[in-house]
Amino acid sequence: MKQYVGQYSKRFAVIMVGSLLLLALLAIIALRLGAVPTTFAQVINDLWLQDGLIWEYRVPRVLIAIFVGINMALAGSILQGVTRNPLAAPDIIGISAGGGLASVIMILVVPSFPQMMLPLAAFGGAVFAGMIVYFVSYSRGGIKPERLALTGVAISAGVQALITLLIVGYALNAAQALVWLKGSLYARSWQHVEMIWPWTLVGGLVALIAYRQLNLLLLNEETVRGLGMRIDRTRLLLLVVSVALAGSSVAVAGTIGFVGLVIPHAARLLVGSDFRLLLPTSAVLGALLVTLSDLVGRVVMPPVEIPAGLVTALLGAPYFLYLLLRRKAAKF
């Protein structure tokens, strides 16, 4: 039943179970460690009563880390499949940058903008950027996947420049915007959990259903159309899902980078290219990386918190270089 060479269903099961156990372990540690020292007894007590410091602050934070990781990793996997470009990711093709720009405008230019509405602005910015990328890469009857990746990179660069311009222009008040841009889970609450979990659910369901479409899209376009897929509609639908996944995660946690880019590759190295195995593996590894990054960021030099997005990049960048060096002899 192997669809791909080097794909091990047994290995997949081991990786999934192992990662989930590790994630549970990390979550427990993350609940215990923090600025205010607590004991395990207190953790259990708070969880049981659904009250207190741990329930109010640390549980939502861990949940958000998990959901953000899942969303970013799934968004990246889907984007890489749809564009057939191994370098596609929400933070590369402008979706994250769009969310970032919208939030930075709100933080700096419109200081009266209510803090609680920031996620909405970020989500709107991400969706808007996604739409621009789509329409620019659209040509008669559908998008060209190669063009989509290139357009995204160009738009991302432009938007990043605007963000930098704003930060320079409002240098005195830029601290909050900078932390936000690095992607932080500081002071996140249950309200934020409610903003992201429905998107994670939708993304997860799509991942369960659409893996066959994603697998098929890896073949050349004429073959795919010959097999009766409405390719433009399928691509659009998948892009919408990945924009929603990335946008909702940018909305609650800022522009956390590298998860969407690196995790799909790591998953592919572990279980092969079949999206049936790739998507769940990506989701779990993404959750693991963001949870770990947030935990590391909180405990390495208290009371200062290193934003989780910075840690993912610190862990992700060397790993990505390692991947590139390893595959230098191969195609890309």
Q: Using CB under 8 A as the criterion, which residues of the chain lie in contact with another protein when the complex forms?
A: 2-7, 141, 209, 211-212, 215-216, 218-220, 222-223, 225-230, 272-274, 331
Contact 100, 181 (CB under 8 A): yes
Distances in whole angstroms, Cα of residue 322 to Cα of each of 7, 91, 93, 319: 22, 20, 22, 5
Q: How far apart are CA 194 and CA 212, in angstroms?
A: 30
Helix (H) or strand (E) holding 82: helix 59-83
Q: Which residues contact 153 (CB under 8 A, 6 or more apart)?
A: 92, 93, 94
Nearer to another protein, 209 or 304 (CB): 209
Nearer to another protein, 17 or 269 (CB): 269
The least distance separating another protein from the CB of residue 261, rounded to whole angstroms, comes to 19
CA angle 88, 309, 192 (to 5 degrees): 100
The least distance separating another protein from the CB of residue 332, rounded to whole angstroms, comes to 11
At residue 139, φ and ψ (nearest 5 deg) are -145, 140
The least distance separating another protein from the CB of residue 19, rounded to whole angstroms, comes to 22
The least distance separating another protein from the CB of residue 225, rounded to whole angstroms, comes to 6
Per-residue tokens: 55: 């329930």
Nearer to another protein, 6 or 169 (CB): 6
The least distance separating another protein from the CB of residue 222, rounded to whole angstroms, comes to 4
Nearer to another protein, 32 or 84 (CB): 84
Q: How far apart are CA 122 and CA 105, in angstroms?
A: 10
Nearer to another protein, 209 or 325 (CB): 209
Contact 177, 121 (CB under 8 A): no
The least distance separating another protein from the CB of residue 235, rounded to whole angstroms, comes to 15
Looking from the CA of 242 toward its CB, the CA atoms found within 13 Å total 33
Cis amide bond preceding 119, omega within 30:
no
Contact 246, 125 (CB under 8 A): no
Nearer to another protein, 196 or 229 (CB): 229
Nearer to another protein, 130 or 272 (CB): 272
Helix (H) or strand (E) holding 142: strand 142-143
The least distance separating another protein from the CB of residue 254, rounded to whole angstroms, comes to 34
